[in-house]
Structure 1
Amino acid sequence: MKICIIGGGLTGLAAAFRLAGSHEVDLVEKRDHLGGCLASYDRERYWIEKFYHHCFVGDDALLALIRELGIEDRLEWLKGTSGYYVEGKVYPLNTPLEIARYPFLTLGEKYRLAMLTLRAKKLDVDALDGVRARDYVLDNLGEGIYRSFFEPLLRSKFGERSGDVSAAWLISRIAIRSHRGLSGERLGYLNGGFQVLVDALGDWIGKHATFRLNDPVTVMGRTGDGWMVNGRHYDRVVSTIPPQELARISGIPLAPVPYQGAACMTLAIDRDVTDGVYWLNMRDPAPYGAVVSHTNFAPVDRYGERLVYLASYFTGELPPRHDRVMREDFCKRFGVREEEIRWQHMAVEPYAGPLYTTGYRERLPDYAQDGLFIAGMFSRPNYPERSMEGSVRAGYEAAELAGRM
């Protein structure tokens, strides 16, 4: 069969990896590069992701793909430390002593929080789909833990929609991040960045399929025996773009999926400003929800400079001058002089990921939709928390259906 895959992000690449060789495959991508949200900046001496990424020990499909591509030797397991920024101070929260010293939770609240972390993997997240995360925390852990720990996380991640997010998302996030030692979390990263994965997939697929870059899908419709996409005929179409975008292009009535956007600023500076912490959540209100110091995770000597992400999410339109507001706040809050910033890049993605509001599970779309196949961050393997693992699985599952029907 001749199959068109729309979208060159990780889901589209995974689908192409499964279909190319057995079928005639065209992968159509609107940008001039592959990777989607996994794409990287080329800094000449190194690659660095536009949006911070790491993987987890339980990512079976992703890790198997890395092995299959022959890049397992690039995979390394690093320590990911975390903490909170409160009232102008960094509080690491990794070792028992650091947690004991954290002054914004009582001893009883710390105990209840620790017990939730231990129980998270055993909880039925499907049963929590209709429960708001806010209500779950208030009912089970108390207001102190909600105000001091979870409310800032929800606010930074979902903004004005934070009150609508389900407890299923929150518990899933706790569970996936519970593989911790006494000093931090064990996280996976590729030496050379995840551009290594994108390149390996691109090299393999390119030998068995056709890439059509700089080719946004503008015209798409049925024919008697298949589909026309940008004037080319296909027997099958696998789309990895948001359903509402596919509906707009094709005219097929697909239920929209609530999405949020991400605006992620990458800065290069000469010194560490987060006291060795990799992932620093902002409890204090700020125009970004977290400061992610990449070079407190991956070794700084690989880059020759310290790399920091300022992570923010939005619904609707990105606030005006947001890049300038983020940079100015960061410099003031962390005592960074403007001349200390070597360079900066701002990546903005309006469809960065689904909003896991209550009732989302019932809105999960099937892969087969009105004669075509759809998969992406909105698919079941990415519920109730999106990940590279979920994107690979979604691509595989859609490809299996498209290739046999």
Structure 2
Amino acid sequence: MSRVVVIGAGAMGLAAAHRAIRLGHDVDVVEADNVPGGMAAHFEVGGVSIERFYHFVCKSDEPTFALLQELGIADAMRWTPTSMGYFMKGRVHPWGDPFSLLRFPHLSLVAKFRTGVQMFLTTRRRSFASIEAKTARQWLEGGSGREVYEKLWKRLMDLKFHDLADGISASWVAVRIRRIGTSRKSIFQEELGYIDGGSQTLVDRLVESIEEGGGRIHLSTPAQRVEVENGKVAGLSANGTFYPADAVISTVPAALVPRLVPALGDDLKRKYEGIRNIGVVCLLFRLKRSVSRNFWVNIVDEEIEIPGIIEFSNLRPLPDSFVYIPYYMPTNQRRWRWSDQEFADEAFGYLRQINPDLSQADLLDAHVSRLRYAQPVCGPNFRDQLPPIQTDVPGFLAADTSYYYPEDRGIAESVRLGREMAELVQ
């Protein structure tokens, strides 16, 4: 048995702790927040428990299904037929199936054929090693053509990555397309999943399992310093308390690791500091009426400063309409310092552009959540730029959402990576 301390009680940290306990280790989890769950944590809006940041499940998310089974809550998985749209030139156009593509009015016939072929082949690919050195723009223009990139992709990429948009990895985009494209009932019907009761159902059961196994979760306990003696991990200082440990697993953002572990080598510190992130301001509106029939609407309009909306109540049945609106931006941007009300006023105005029938009377609640390290900026050959999970300090392991690459952020990757780090302690 080893003494293991896990930094962070998000989905990755909880999965790591759960697996470490199953392997026979003595485990402490320290979390700066006053609730467990990280990005999967819930809060209450209008009597409904709902995620601060939206989550959904795809049919390829095997680590999630395996963990639900292990925890005895596999029957909490639910599936819903969903749809996607594109808001362009004043209206929402259906998207995501062959008929929608053929009827889409803003692409030439050649562009429709090329994008249909590229998307279909992407869902069938097992590996993207051959495009790893390309940018998303190079790959999409090479397959679907410049017309498709300029009309359907450029605005989305610019609003998510800003001046870094042209340097995003082709593999990162392709894997996202494949994940959604393979989560279907048929070629004509997308089908996405959610956990009954939301992500909190999984978080609560993980916490119960950890505590049942003798593990301890310490909330409102920010990590301060990984202590090193005789060249290896000795424990963690957190909120004025020392937690002795043979191994420390960090799941906090990579940019924070150099300050957390001063004993790391300078080369490794530079690698951590070189991992860039985009922040997000994520709004959640509770409305009396629905905005659209779609779960996801991409927005490509030069007058609208958001890349899309996610109408979560079109996935998980809820008493009102719940709509997430993400603003991605570098945290040094002026808009990052806007008040919550400024974001809410602007975003609700955008909803009224998408659905002019909405009025101020339809707005029941508006909540704003912010995250500084929300979206890793993954360029070509990104994996080669990541520091090793097992660092040059024996007993210290670290990873964050950057290590999901080429997969995007999601609970399935949190579970997979958390378990992997726990097994590396062996």
TM bin, normalised by shorter chain, reads over 0.9
Pick aligned residue for 1:133 from 132, 136, 155: 136
Q: 2: distance between equivalents of 1:184 and 1:280?
A: 16
Pick aligned residue for 2:206 from 197, 201, 217: 201
Alpha carbons of structure 1 residues 139 and 99: separation in structure 2 relative to 1, 3 Å: closer
After the TM superposition, which of the residue ranges 317-326 and 61-70 deviates more from structure 2? 317-326
Question: Does structure 1 residue 227 correspond to structure 2 residue 245?
Answer: no
Matches within 5 A, 1:267-306: 267-274=285-292, 276-285=293-302, 286-299=304-317, 303-306=318-321
Q: 2: distance between equivalents of 1:140 and 1:93?
A: 19
Alpha carbons of structure 1 residues 95 and 141: separation in structure 2 relative to 1, 3 Å: closer
Question: Does structure 1 residue 31 correspond to structure 2 residue 33?
Answer: yes
1:156-215 deviation digits (Å, cap 9, x = unpaired): 332221111011111111111112334432211112111101111011112220111001
Paired amino acid for 1:157 = K
Partner-residue secondary structure (3-state), 1:214: coil
Shift of 1:328: 4.5
Q: 1: distance between equivalents of 2:172 and 2:139?
A: 11
Partner-residue secondary structure (3-state), 2:326: strand
1:251-285 deviation digits (Å, cap 9, x = unpaired): 224312221212110000011122x0110000113
Contact 1:60 1:389 in 2 (8 A): yes
Pick aligned residue for 2:170 from 164, 167, 170: 167
Question: Does structure 1 residue 244 correspond to structure 2 residue 255?
Answer: yes
Q: 2: distance between equivalents of 1:80 and 1:332?
A: 22
Paired amino acid for 2:208 = D
Pick aligned residue for 1:385 from 393, 405, 408: 408
Matches within 5 A, 1:137-148: 137-148=140-151
Contact 2:310 2:323 in 1 (8 A): yes
Partner-residue secondary structure (3-state), 2:112: helix
Identity of aligned residues (%): 27
Q: 1: distance between equivalents of 2:142 and 2:97?
A: 27
Contact 2:55 2:410 in 1 (8 A): no
Contact 2:226 2:233 in 1 (8 A): no
Alpha carbons of structure 1 residues 382 and 139: separation in structure 2 relative to 1, 3 Å: closer
TM-score by length of 2: 0.88
Shift of 1:89: 0.6
Contact 2:279 2:373 in 1 (8 A): yes
Question: Does structure 1 residue 374 correspond to structure 2 residue 398?
Answer: yes
Question: Does structure 1 residue 349 correspond to structure 2 residue 371?
Answer: yes
Shift of 1:65: 0.3
Partner-residue secondary structure (3-state), 2:206: helix
TM-score by length of 1: 0.93
Match of residue 359 from structure 1: 381
Paired amino acid for 2:386 = L
Q: 1: distance between equivalents of 2:299 and 2:44?
A: 29
Contact 1:261 1:315 in 2 (8 A): yes
Contact 2:87 2:93 in 1 (8 A): yes
Question: Does structure 1 residue 155 correspond to structure 2 residue 158?
Answer: yes
Q: 2: distance between equivalents of 1:240 and 1:96?
A: 41
Paired amino acid for 1:281 = N
Partner-residue secondary structure (3-state), 1:343: strand
Partner-residue secondary structure (3-state), 1:105: coil
Contact 2:159 2:329 in 1 (8 A): no
Match of residue 326 from structure 2: 311
Q: 2: distance between equivalents of 1:95 and 1:232?
A: 53
Shift of 1:135: 1.8
Paired amino acid for 1:259 = N
Shift of 1:332: 4.2
Question: Does structure 1 residue 99 correspond to structure 2 residue 123?
Answer: no
Paired amino acid for 2:67 = L
Question: Does structure 1 residue 118 correspond to structure 2 residue 142?
Answer: no
1:4-49 deviation digits (Å, cap 9, x = unpaired): 1001111101100101251111101000011111111223733111
Match of residue 109 from structure 1: 111
Match of residue 259 from structure 1: 277
Q: 2: distance between equivalents of 1:52 and 1:33?
A: 17
Paired amino acid for 1:376 = D
Q: 2: distance between equivalents of 1:152 and 1:184?
A: 26
Which segments of 5 or more consecutive residues in structure 1 lack a partner in the other structure?
none
Contact 1:287 1:325 in 2 (8 A): no
The number of equivalent residue pairs is 398
Partner-residue secondary structure (3-state), 1:25: strand
Match of residue 7 from structure 1: 8
Contact 2:283 2:344 in 1 (8 A): no
Q: 2: distance between equivalents of 1:267 and 1:329?
A: 12
Alpha carbons of structure 1 residues 279 and 44: separation in structure 2 relative to 1, 3 Å: closer
Shift of 1:393: 0.9
Which segments of 5 or more consecutive residues in structure 2 lack a partner in the other structure?
none
Q: 1: distance between equivalents of 2:216 and 2:399?
A: 20
Partner-residue secondary structure (3-state), 2:401: coil
Paired amino acid for 2:39 = C
Shift of 1:337: 2.5
Paired amino acid for 1:304 = P
Q: 1: distance between equivalents of 2:67 and 2:100?
A: 37
